[in-house]
Amino acid sequence: MVSYFSIHTDRPLPAMAEARLLYTIDFINNHPFTKLQECVLNLNQETDRIISYTKEKNKRKHFIFRADQIFQDVNKLEESDVLESIFFHVSRFEERFMDFQLFLNDRKSYEDQLYLVRNGLEKTPIVDHLVQDLITSLCQGKINTRLQAPVHLTHDVDFVEKFTSPWSILRKTVGHLYHRRTLKNLDLLWNQFFDKKKNRQDPFDTFEWLLSERSMEKTIYFLRGKNHSLDNFYESNHATFRKALRTAEERQYNIGIHPSYLSYNKGAMMSEEKQKLERECGQEITRSRQHFLNFKVDETPQNLEKIGIKEDSSLGYTRYVGFRCGTGFSYKLYDFQKERPTNVIEKPLVFMDTSWFHESKRQGSWKLPDLSNLYGTFNFHNSTFDDLEMRGIEMKQHYLRFFGVSESDE
């Protein structure tokens, strides 16, 4: 039996406050935990169960959604209620007031300023906990906890080959010595080079074992633009690119666009790259993840919506493993310019191989991560396994234990 609850305000709300409150209520209603309990929240409707929501301090709730300037100090979050806290995290409200240039220039410094990181909560799905606590209190202990945690496996294809010319080995050797300050595994690098010349097997061509055959949600994102030094261009007819496309389709992957480095606020650039991939793979592209996770909360969602993207998976950390949005479950992105939800579903990124690398390097520990403790979207680059192997880290076998073919799949 469905239980209906209505949140009642003590006075009419400003349009902005009402839009944000309705967005938050919709997020809660669509949260898997709420659906599992057959619970529905409404705003200012007549039901038998009323939740008082007021600005007056002597009432149960004493804060309402406020003007932007009040929330610029994120320490105010401790004074907010559960609804405001949920909105704060999933809408990425705090990032509206942060310097995006800092993100582009120094990602760790930017992420260190985020509320969850500053408070050591980035590993905690705080929003999911808030929803569960709210619904548990409303249901008065009558809780069904058979909640299935989502797993969305993804790959970003930034490079399709390691050795692009006969001179590559010299550049790679210099890079190895400069960055790692050791001769260890230098022989592996040269053996890879000669194997490429003899057998035409490049270390970045990992798609045969990387692309999982397991039955789960899977997406592969291809980089198709070249507008910055950090964009790597590969031709439409490149054999490895064609192989990756073919293998992904055979193994029932969704195909997505990986918009280039400078595209985060350039809808026309995004659209051009999306159309190019559509011509190359012969299908409509509706999924996206920003290159280097360059995602500006005031602009990127609107551009994604305008070009027909229905699903994004950019909101994760670049230097940490964890829940940047406070949740691993999907939800709609918010448009702050028009104060409304967009039609773009965000699938939060909770684990990325390069983020784990940066976190492990800071900690001085290369213990492989326990992926079973996380849920949401996982991302592995086809080229990162090689870099980790050169450092003596066996991520490939670890990956295959979680996402490779199991006995039940054969």
Alpha-carbon distance 376 to 322, whole Å? 10
* Angle formed at CA 386 by CA 382 and CA 388, multiple of 5 degrees: 110
The reported pLDDT for the residue numbered 77 is 56
Report, as ranges of residue numbers, the positions in the chain whose pLDDT lies below 50.
57-64, 67-72, 407-408, 410
Q: Domains plus CATH for the chain? A: 3-137 (no CATH), 151-162+202-405 (3.20.20)
The reported pLDDT for the residue numbered 48 is 76
The reported pLDDT for the residue numbered 184 is 78
Quick one: 20 exposed, middle or buried, by C-beta within 10 A (0-12, 13-18, 19+)? buried
The reported pLDDT for the residue numbered 54 is 66
The reported pLDDT for the residue numbered 360 is 96
Beta-strand runs (E) in 194-330: 217-222, 254-257, 287-288, 311-312
Whole-model pTM: value is 0.91
The reported pLDDT for the residue numbered 58 is 45
What is the overall mean pLDDT for the chain? 89
The reported pLDDT for the residue numbered 252 is 97
Model confidence over 200-243: pLDDT tens digits?
788 999 999 999 999 999 999 999 999 999 999 999 999 999 99
